[in-house]
Structure 1
């Protein structure tokens, strides 16, 4: 079998839930505050994956305005009921996660076709996060709702175990008794539960240890769905905790799938750190490992528990598209793009925006350009005009051309490398108090909790009033630089210092440990703090992957 390089979903694809229906495999991953909600990838061979859809596309399903950074959609679980011939997606919309309380609202949506229109959500409960559904076809077709339980009275952490209750399809409600079936192990912070049934055993796979470098996957089993559950004799079954030099770190939050020919694989969250500070600039990604059920009826990771950078899969991976430069235009679909219901026509599937289910208030495609409507400041938790794509390579170049006529210093637009309101780099076209245009660099580098702006160049760069401006940036591992050129100029000029690109990572994401969960984005933004809705027009956007000597994973 071909050896395939992990991860299979690079760049901010966290908390994977995998599903096979016939010959088709699907993986759903978390999107947090980025809209539309949930990414679903498709494959026929486990090695080659394409983004199929983002199912949460309208306000009735998801409205995240006001959600803090790294809140929003957590750990969606994708399942299929063979008796109902229907796909189920259960997800949490987290409204608050820091401090003594967490507000975690759980919903279920359904669809007959996975890439079709998904239903309006049915509210389930708010008792915790990371819910999943288990369809027990051997038990009168019952469906069970499984999620972690929060208890704000527990100190120092509120993780209280895994709760089970039956879900009734007809009434759309939880019914019958509930029970905490598993309180976790000494690894602590038990979450991310998935239930399976094999050979008369109920298996409970959970994530433990937090989502940082102590992350792990724990397996337990019972003859009765209500427990008691015994823990795997070699717990954890998957973790990099004791292998600090392993290529794949932060391994945990996993899900299991069987192939048509009887093989078993496990997909899991992972991160690939760079720099001596061990920062995962591509966020939490999805990797895959081969597993097997031994004679003792326990599942083991092949060559585990430390995850392997390479794995044997049924097919080789074609990385041509991954390394192909992307030239995005906004007058129609770029090559390889698509528009699905709820995703604006003309915007390539690689792009997302933040929080709002009303994208027409922050951007439109007009006359072959992406037109951003200046709203709130970059980093707003409510309504900011920022359209961006994931950073999926350790080194890359990005470029766009901007037409923008600001009236004063409270109107600005440009090119940004963005993690969250506390961590971004932003090259802007703006103006001074007299309306004279200038280039200004804005950064907010690891500025939690103040979110304070920094101005890394002593004086703005004056530019003519009307010409378009070409803005560019380059990332080479942990180094980021900005460039610009005026309309008619071919050569880009450097502006500002070399920045530390590695702060665009979970490890620097503006929260305490285990508190930042997304990944670095690069894209276009516009703000009008005067409330005049000034428009900024971007002609195109280029993203060019670069093979670089500093990339230990890709070269």
Structure 2
């Protein structure tokens, strides 16, 4: 999973899909068979991509009849916490967040210290072992600031659980050694085969060994395929069908030349022969809105039909405005006996195999991916937890996010702002940002904040946050006026590897300050980020209870947060900007209103 893209900085891109298919521990071809499932529609079904809109790259999916005929998918999370989100569906159209594999710091403490915004969790693979009734997720914690030749760059890890719906059932990480990434699991004959992509700048190729799932002990690695000649062969997945072992992979890097390729062999460890029609799935060199297609995975539904998930970017060949970056798409696959699979072209509106009838009766406390937010005061559940889809950048500092009066959110400032120490590292202080994913082209995100401040550079604000070095913020900040008196100001500023507009600083109207002490600010404001088209965000603010007075402070292109591996998070932050301030903010009326999805 690697790919160089330059936006003022040459960056190693990557990422892989680690395949998902419930596999039986069997040497029979039936290890990929799907038993009869729920009732389906009588004809091909129309559905829409992406099925997981927003920051959900490198999908890995399985279908489990034993779990109420449910499909499960995991995806990459990088530095976002909770990490490795799990989505479930019974009909392939309605997808619900049902948990996260990585949900406790004790599982993987090292994630708190990652350096670089492209570090963290790359390309998890989800597998289910029928005989042991165990879920396995295998992935890599990548220290992306280190060179590929440094073995400590690659921390390959494995999690397991007997209950996918219970966050605490997921184990701590079991570590194993490999100079590479994108690990995949395949079970057969009482053995577990581990296949992964070697660091491509060192020795490109797909390697394989066997692994003990409880200890992480591995055997000797063997090169089994070098790909078709495209850059960075990665994202391998092994499937067995009709006496053949099929090896699915990604090549070309995770940008505009991304593609899916496949090979097969009569033996699990090769030699593998290339499909003469490779690549089997790509939108490279087309005018399609859906670009960067790759890192695919294959699975069957309850009727035995084949499907593939992959990542894609809604950018068009211009590749300029794509703030949700890499998302999960779905396509039907025709796979006749003894032949190569044939993938349908990825588009926004699709016609696929007859799908199960619509069914939203899915367990789990999370929300469906297309849901909005309307959280007036009840931020915390009875256990003191914020909503499952709320997201932090690395592990949150508990003291920053606490229950306030009326069950609203009390937000305390970090000394770091959102760029933190250098745009890559945040140190032990972290950043005080709580967010949710942007999951629609058009939306309005807004919060009410109640805030009292008196020290210079104390700040509360909202952000379209991609990474520490790519974010667009509207803050309310204490700054001196022309006479040197500290008064609250609105301040737009942005960080990106591409040029951004200069900061905009304007005083908050004096009548909006409710403080009787002119040395302090006491504000009750509604802060808003709105995407009314596919290219720009509008940042606005106004007094609570007087929406007609709302002012638009800045309209900024989303090109500065259209970059890299992740996707935009929309959230509220608090910082002292390295100063002495400690002003708390109280957050209520958290809203996210979906207003449209562009698919072509």
459, 478, 491: which one pairs with 1:412? 459
* Match in the other structure for 2:32: none
Q: Indicate which of 396, 401, 411 corresponds to 1:363.
A: 401
Tell me the secondary structure at the aligned position of residue 361 of structure 1: helix
Query: How high is the TM-score relative to the length of structure 1?
Result: 0.87
The more displaced of 308-317 and 71-80 is: 308-317
Residues 410-458 of structure 1, C-alpha deviation per residue, up to 9 Å, x if partnerless?
Answer: 321111111122222211122125773313323224346xx99941246
Match of 1:135 in 2: 187
Answer whether contact 1:398 1:473 (CA < 8 A) is retained: yes
Contact 2:176 2:217 survives alignment (8 Å): yes
The partner residue of 1:504 within 561, 586, 592 is: 561
- Report the Cα distance in structure 1 between the residues aligned to 2:196 and 2:485, rounded to whole angstroms: 55
TM-score of the superposition, structure 2-length normalised? 0.81
Residues 449-470 of structure 1: per-residue CA shift (max 9 Å, x gap)? xx99941246676552213122
Partner of 2:298: 256
Q: Is the 8 A contact 1:17 1:78 kept in 2?
A: yes
The correspondence for 2:389, drawn from 347, 350, 359, is 350
Aligned: 1:311 with 2:351:
yes
C-alpha contact 2:461 2:572 (8 A) present in aligned 1:
yes
Counterpart pick for 2:527 among 461, 471, 487: 471
Q: In the alignment, which of 206, 228, 233 is matched to residue 162 of structure 1?
A: 206
Distance 1:88 1:322 in 2: 23
2: distance between equivalents of 1:308 and 1:218? 22
1:58, distance to aligned residue in structure 2 (A): 1.2
Of the three residues 288, 297, 312, the one matched with 2:330 is 288
- Give the alignment partner of residue 150 of structure 1, picking from 196, 199, 204: 199
| Alignment of structure 1 residues 178-189 onto 2, 5 Å | 178-189=221-232
Q: 1:38 to 1:88 in 2, by over 3 A?
A: same
d(CA) in 2 for partners of 1:104 and 1:172? Answer: 15
| 1:292–1:65 distance in 2 versus 1, CA, 3 Å | same
Q: Tell me the equivalent position of 1:537.
A: 586
What is the CA-CA distance between 1:227 and the residue it aligns to? 1.0
Match of 1:512 in 2: none
Is the partner of 1:11 in helix, strand or coil? coil
Shift in CA distance, 276/269, structure 1 to aligned 2, threshold 3 Å: closer
Relative to 1, partners in 2 of residues 1:399 and 1:535: Cα closer, same or farther, differing over 3 Å?
same
Could you tell me which runs of 5 or more consecutive residues in structure 2 were left unpaired when the two chains were aligned: 1-43, 361-366, 514-520
8 A contact 2:127–2:135 mirrored in 1: yes
1:30 corresponds to 2:63: no
- Alignment correspondent of 1:220: 263
Match of 1:437 in 2: 487
Name 2:85's counterpart in structure 1: 39
| Contact map agreement 1:422 1:444 (CA 8 A) in 2 | no
SS in 2 for 1:432: strand
Deviation digits for residues 333-379 of structure 1 (CA, Å, limit 9, x no counterpart)? 6xxxx89xxxx7341222100111x4413312222221222112112
| Alpha-carbon offset, residue 299 of structure 1 | 1.3
The total of aligned residue pairs comes to: 519
Q: Which residue of 2 aligns with 1:192?
A: 235
1:49 to 95, 104, 108: 95
8 Å contact 2:108–2:172 — kept in the other structure?
A: no
Contact 2:71–2:89 under 8 Å retained in 1: yes
CA contact (8 A) 2:136 2:161 kept: yes
Q: Secondary structure at the match of 1:214?
A: coil
Distance in 2 (alpha carbons) for counterparts of 1:488 and 1:300: 57
SS of corresponding position for 2:559: helix
Tell me the equivalent position of 1:391. Answer: 438
Matching residue of 1:8: 51
Q: Is the 8 A contact 1:73 1:92 kept in 2?
A: yes
RCO comparison, higher one (Cα < 8 Å, 6+) = 2
Mapped partners of 2:327, 2:373: distance in 1 = 21
Change in Cα spacing, 1:455 to 1:162, as seen in structure 2 (3 Å) is same
Change (3 A) 1:170 1:250: closer
- 1:399·1:470 contact (CA, 8 Å) conserved in 2? yes
CA drift of 1:76 comes to: 0.6
Q: Does the CA-based 8 Å contact 1:268-1:288 persist in structure 2?
A: yes
Deviations along 1:461-507, one digit per CA (max 9) or x if unpaired, are 6552213122112112212112111244232422433211233212x
* Structure 2 counterpart of 1:485: 542
Structure 2 distance, partners of 1:97, 1:294, is 44
| Distance verdict in 2 for CA 1:309–1:246, change over 3 Å | farther
Q: Aligned equivalents of 1:291 and 1:370: distance in 2?
A: 46
1:517: Cα distance to partner? 0.2
- Assess if the C-alpha contact under 8 Å between 2:90 and 2:359 holds in 1: no
Q: What is the rounded CA distance, in whole Å, between the counterparts of 1:170 and 1:481 in structure 2?
A: 51
| Aligned partner of 1:107 among 153, 157, 173 | 157
Structure 1 position 225, deviation (Å): 1.5
Query: 1:92 aligns to what SS in structure 2?
Result: strand
Runs (5+) with no aligned partner, structure 1: 152-156, 507-515
- The answer to which of 420-429 and 269-278 deviates more is 269-278
Superposition deviation, residue 407 in structure 1: 2.8
* 1:58-69 correspondence to structure 2 within 5 Å: 58-63=104-109, 64-67=111-114, 68-69=116-117
